[in-house]
Amino acid sequence: MLQVTPNGPWGKDVHPAMPVTLDELTAELTRCFAAGADGVHLHVRDSSGAETLDPAVVNETCRRVREVAYGKIEIGLTTGAWIVPGLADRIAMIREWEGVDVATVNLSEEGFADVMAAMLEAGIGIDVGLWSPQEMPALLGSGLLPLVSRVSIELDPGEPYFLQGPPETVAQQVNDLLDEAGSTCPRLTHGMNDWTWPLVRDAFRRGHDTRVGFEDSVLLPDGTTAPDNASLVRAAAALRP
């Protein structure tokens, strides 16, 4: 799968073409799906442009995205704690989501296992957000690894772990730990900023899913700024074996 991440938590200060409104998002995704994306990871926005987990907004957003999708497109969301800090409130909202195939749960966030359990009950696939080899003990300790839909290996040389070494080496460390744990679920490998394109190539080499989009980097492989998300998708699709 080549997933597009069109917005993340960012605004138009990061890129003037950042899709914030629902109309902007669906227009951008129409181009991205035509360019080769077959999945999307969304940060849903309300009418003010703020991130939200509100079921009414989430469900309408997913409905609109389905309308512009070419064939079967996986719709993934974030469950980021910064959006709704209260764990009970966040879980209550997630239970009412409709049209969401998977959602990313960050192992770095308190209560991640409770969020995962609620998602399983609601029929939403768990996409584990694993940011560092240091997080593997927490994932294994939860006992939920055999039940997840995918592990997203999400590597950033900056905060919070300040990972060292070539990105491909860090990705190998995570993959080795997952292999040692006996995990056979799909994996999605991606990087942020300078690690974006090295890890897209690494993912394709391993046969993993990967992703590109303004959430991760606004730069094309040659270092120039992409005019839109669809340009990033086309650049990634050109690297796919």
End-to-end CA, the chain: 12
Secondary structure (H, E, C), 176-199: HHHHHCCCCCCEEEEECHHHHHHH
Q: pLDDT: is 185 or 241 the higher one?
A: 185
Cβ burial 144-159 (10 Å sphere, 16+ → b, else e): bbeebbbbbbbbbbee
Give the integer Cα–Cα distance in Å for 237 and 230: 10
Give the integer Cα–Cα distance in Å for 112 and 192: 22
Give the integer Cα–Cα distance in Å for 186 and 151: 7
**Per-residue model confidence as pLDDT tens digits over 11-22:** 999 999 999 999
Give the integer Cα–Cα distance in Å for 214 and 90: 25
Give the integer Cα–Cα distance in Å for 163 and 207: 23
**Per-residue model confidence as pLDDT tens digits over 114-132:** 999 999 999 999 999 999 9
Q: What is the pLDDT of residue 71?
A: 80
- In the chain, what are the domain boundaries? 2-239
Tell me the whole-structure pTM to 2 decimals.
0.95
- Give me the CATH topology for the region 2-239: TIM Barrel (3.20.20)
Confidence of residue 159 (pLDDT cuts 50, 70, 90): confident
